[in-house]
């Protein structure tokens, strides 16, 4: 069994930062299932055509040039007592210290129809590739749920790509709790000027269709259709011409440890100000964690 001083489970920004800090000082392995790590905030610009897809990918050399070993595989089990991890091919690797950096994934609410084709998040390389392919195949319309920074950028990118776009958020304004009302009013006016249909104080209550999503029902009684029945938006050319993308928050990826002794909170793995979990020699970093802010004393993901 190969032994490492440090094993990092996950390949996102937090894992890469650790590799760069410690790769030349200790024997470090970074284990991730994905072919590439993504620059998440750059993905909308690839949809718009401002950058090539390859510009959204983090280079593996960020890990390997730092002296760490990059292992493309999935950790299926962690033995915290024996201090080892098991990969999908049954290989076991032992560690002195373990860092969990599994990140977060888009939150898709458990509404009726959430499992229909054409309903997706927007975080991974596959999400980007699939969306680009669907647009190339004739996608006419998109509903983006979530008017935070990524949701707004994605809605604009889809509009620039030639789609009819609806942007939905349950808050009273875009970018809730981030900017003041004067600025949001100007930004909302610009969004509408660009031809994006903005639905505020609206929540998705159901997604309907047979196999592919055909319309979105909001809690204010409005329905956004992907055909000529649409009452409030530009119409697509058919019932398979629309897509719903959820960009309304993330949920921590903690399935690997949910049945372990590690303490979990509502927003992820509970850590202290040293990024220690409730188990010795086990740390957690990044979007999979929950901590108490030293500034506000509140719990934050």
State the Cα–Cα distance between residues 165 and 143, nearest whole angstrom.
6
Strand partners, 117: 212
- The answer to whether the beta carbons of residues 288 and 267 sit under 8 Å apart is no
- The answer to whether the beta carbons of residues 107 and 250 sit under 8 Å apart is yes
- CA 116, chain centre distance (Å): 19
DSSP state letter for 255: G
Residue 202 CB-half CA count within 13 A: 24
163 membership: H or E segment, kind and range: none
Query: Cβ contacts of residue 116 below 8 Å, gap of 6+?
Result: 207, 209, 211, 212, 213
Which of 41, 232, 288, 297 is labelled catalytic? 41
- What three-state secondary structure class fits 235? coil
Is residue 41 annotated as a catalytic residue, yes or no?
A: yes
- CA 24, chain centre distance (Å): 30
What amino acid positions are annotated as catalytic residues? Answer: 41
């Amino acid at each position: 069994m190969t032994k490492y001083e440090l094993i990092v489970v996950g390949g996102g920004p937090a894992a890469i930062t650790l590799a760069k800090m410690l790769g030349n000082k200790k024997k470090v392995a970074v284990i991730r299932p994905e072919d590439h790590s993504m620059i998440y905030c750059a993905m909308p610009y690839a949809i718009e055509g401002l950058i090539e897809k390859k510009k959204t990918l983090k280079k593996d050399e960020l890990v390997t040039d730092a002296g760490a070993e990059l292992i493309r595989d999935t950790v299926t089990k962690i033995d915290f007592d024996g201090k080892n991890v098991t990969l999908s091919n049954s290989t076991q690797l032992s560690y002195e210290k373990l860092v969990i950096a599994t990140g977060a994934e888009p939150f898709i609410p458990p509404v009726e129809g959430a499992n229909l084709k054409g309903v997706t998040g927007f975080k991974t390389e596959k999400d980007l590739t699939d969306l680009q392919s669907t647009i190339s195949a004739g996608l006419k319309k998109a509903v983006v749920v979530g008017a935070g920074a990524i949701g707004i950028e994605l809605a604009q990118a889809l509009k620039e790509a030639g789609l009819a776009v609806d942007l939905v958020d349950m808050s009273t304004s875009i970018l809730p709790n981030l900017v003041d009302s004067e600025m949001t009013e100007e930004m909302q006016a610009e969004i509408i000027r660009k031809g994006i249909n903005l639905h505020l104080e609206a929540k998705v209550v159901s997604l309907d269709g047979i196999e592919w999503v055909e319309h979105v029902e909001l809690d204010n009684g409005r329905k956004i259709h992907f055909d000529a029945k649409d009452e409030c938006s530009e119409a697509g050319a058919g019932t398979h011409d629309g897509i719903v993308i959820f960009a309304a928050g993330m949920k921590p990826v903690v399935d690997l440890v949910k049945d372990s002794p590690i303490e979990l909170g509502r927003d992820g793995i509970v850590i202290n100000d040293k990024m220690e979990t409730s188990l010795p020699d086990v740390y957690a970093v990044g979007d999979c964690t929950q901590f108490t802010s030293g500034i506000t004393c509140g719990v934050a993901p």
